[in-house]
Amino acid sequence: MQAWRPFHSLVIPLLFSTGFIFSISVKAAEEQLPYCHRYADLNFPDYMALWDEDEPALTASAFFAMLNMAAASADKTFFSELLSQIARTFVLRQQFDEANFYLDQASQYLEHAQPRAKVYYWREKARLMAYQKDTQAAAWLLEKAWQEARQHGYDQVAIETALDLSGVVFTRLPEKERAEWKQRARQLAKTTDDNRARRWLAAHQERLSI
């Protein structure tokens, strides 16, 4: 039997190695989505605004449609983050081989990406470990993500990570440690001046009160 090999296993390395460029500036400008950041005079749609955890396959389709734009831009931060989120869509469907493949792809660009790409990569790797019942590894990866996010001022993802560590879905930490992580999340939520974090908190305030 032929080993599973996703179509994008050929496409992803090829896009970067050949320097193949698409005309994407108009497409990016036309997207009716908030921008996550700019790179080389291009606006990048906020892929997180497309997330629907009730429809991971549909979300994956939306992310795959953005791969060419991400690769053509040469923005390895955006590309790595997008690959991490594609992996997450497979984790939620418990398709772990596919999830591992896209996480491996995401990891290849971390050295040349901004630090936040590592944060998203470690979070999704932790999610995969948790789904595979390795909660100890999941907790270790989430703590790495928290430390990196705090060091570089990524308050929104830091709050999310602390809340993940305070729950029982990803880890099996003792109750006292989970309470400490919840307190860290609440404290950062009170003091952050990051607009992205504030927008996220406005939509997820209930997670802090549980």
Q: Where would I find the beta strands (DSSP E) of the chain?
A: 35-39, 42-45
Do residues 132 and 148 lie in contact, with contact meaning Cβ atoms separated by under 8 Å? Answer: no
C-alpha to C-alpha distance for 158 and 160, rounded to whole angstroms: 5
Model pLDDT, residue 6? 58
Percent residues over pLDDT 90 in the chain: 56
Q: Which amino acid is at 152?
A: H
Question: Could you tell me the CA-to-CA distances from 42 to 64, 74, 111, 157 in Å, in that order?
Answer: 19, 11, 22, 23
pTM: 0.79
139-167 tens-digit pLDDT:
999 999 999 999 999 999 999 999 999 99
